[in-house]
Amino acid sequence: MKREGLIMIISAPSGAGKTTLCRQLMKRFPAMQESISYTTRQPRPGEVDGQDYCFVSRAEFERMVAEDAFAEWAEVHGNLYGTALKTLEEARRNGINLVLDIDCQGALKLKEHFEGGVYIFILPPSMEELRRRLENRSSDAQEVIERRIVRAAAEIKEARWYDYIIINDRFEQAFEELSAIVLSQSRKSFRMLEQVAKLFDI
């Protein structure tokens, strides 16, 4: 009997702290892996093909869409992003725990077509705090910040259909809450049966 992998889908408006939370989660739970998406966006300095994303041309991406190679895909900020069906199926089959950092449109498509994922939405404590965090990043132009805020207001409305909502006011608290979700999901009896069978020869 092979343990079924846990597939966790995490979405958040830009500035909610998702990247830091996910990075910390990988450290605390080394058995979790980040799903590597396909994207048509250009690599940023330091990003590695096949590690951060699989960087492909729009033509290649569209070919994969036509071949039904994606479990979900979406256009975000003018670029295409998608999760390969193969990535999810292999993870599930091999008992790999996977974290998907994807936007709300993609998460909704996945929820409609792919059974068994755990959906988590991370929120900032307020719109004022979100603005403050985006402005403090200072990497983005004011116009980009305004666009992100408008988008965030729309995305926050999507939080209601996720399984869990975490409000990232204090990082440590939010991280404990995220860890608690991972732990409780990993102790679901159907995920423990492989280990139990080995321990007790049943």
Q: How far is the CB of 73 from ligand 5GP (least distance, A)?
A: 6
17 versus 82: smaller Cβ distance to ligand 5GP = 82
99 versus 174: smaller Cβ distance to ligand 5GP = 99
Q: Which residue is nearest to ligand 5GP, using beta carbons?
A: 106
**Residues of the shown chain interacting with ligand 5GP in the complex, contacts defined by CB under 6 A:** 37, 41, 72, 74, 76, 81-83, 101-103, 105-106
Distances (CA, A) of 44 to 18, 41, 47, 80, 138: 18, 9, 6, 15, 17
Write out the two tokens for 172.
């440590």
Angle between helix 18-28 and 171-186 (nearest 10): 50
Contact 21, 178 (CB under 8 A): yes
3 versus 72: smaller Cβ distance to ligand 5GP = 72
Contact 145, 35 (CB under 8 A): no
Q: Outline where DSSP puts E strands in 62-143.
A: 70-76, 79-84, 97-101, 118-123
Q: In what order do the strands lie in the sheet with 97-101?
A: 32-34, 97-101, 7-11, 118-123, 164-167
Q: How far is the CB of 61 from ligand 5GP (least distance, A)?
A: 11
3 versus 7: smaller Cβ distance to ligand 5GP = 7
Q: How far is the CB of 188 from ligand 5GP (least distance, A)?
A: 25
Q: How far is the CB of 81 from ligand 5GP (least distance, A)?
A: 3
Q: How far is the CB of 46 from ligand 5GP (least distance, A)?
A: 12
Rg, the chain, Cα only? 18
Q: How far is the CB of 71 from ligand 5GP (least distance, A)?
A: 9
What residues does 80 pair with on adjacent strands? Answer: 75
